Copies of this chain bind each other. A is one copy, B any other.
Amino acid sequence: MSTGRLEAFSDGVIAILITIMILELKVPHGADLAALRPVLPVFLTYVLSYVFLGIYWSNHHHLLHATKRVTGGVLWANLHLLFWLSLVPFVTAWMGENKFHPVPTAIFGVVMLLAAIAYYILVRAILAGEGASSELAAAVGTDTKGRISPVLYALAIPLSFVRSWIALGIYVFVALMWLVPDRRIESRLRGR
């Protein structure tokens, strides 16, 4: 069973999520620049979430490229990941519209943490099918970024209630850390 349809479906869902977030950018009533000001915090969280979804798409792309067998378990692990990603527009809008109030900022972290865990489960499900001696197993062996991210999210959640900008700073840091694309798997594969 090939990865083709799994990729196509995941692409579809992530493409829709990225574009649905714009619907939250409600067209301002006024026509001057001042009318754009209340849109700005929502816009900035949109940029952040766009980058996060872009990172997931990019890593997902590399991961499935190195996958050869799709089992029923992989299929559901993938649907599980997409579930948490599908909540990103909701928490993004909630956080942006409430000017980074502690509760929505913490909930944003919770969804990001659960998405990171779901990605980890997907990697394990694929490895269970591919075998521990596979190329992919070697490639993800030293997945430092994948291990640090959930720890950072777990830190950000309580810190939202101290100062919400600390949590936000952590989210931005994680995004920047990942923006350096996932060369691990890529370079391994190229080394063939």
State how many copies of this chain the complex holds: 4
**Cβ contact within 8 Å between B182 and A32:** no
B181 near A57 (CB under 8 angstroms)?
no
Closest to A97 in B: B27
B12-A72 in contact (CB<8A): no
Residues of B within 8 A of A135 (CB): none
Q: Do B9 and A15 touch across chains, with their CB atoms under 8 A apart?
A: yes
In chain B, what residue has the closest Cβ to A70? B61
A94 at the interface (CB under 8 A from B): yes
Smallest beta-carbon distance A29→chain B, Å: 9
Which of B5, B18, B90, B183 interacts with A25 by CB under 8 Å? B90
In angstroms, Cα B33 to Cα A7, docked, is 36
**Which residues in B have their C-beta under 8 angstroms from that of A33?**
103
Query: Residue A79 at the B interface, CB < 8 A?
Result: yes
Asked if A14 is at the interface of the complex by the 8 Å CB criterion, the answer is yes
Stretch with Cβ within 8 A of B (4 or more), from A80-88, A150-158, A166-174: A80-88
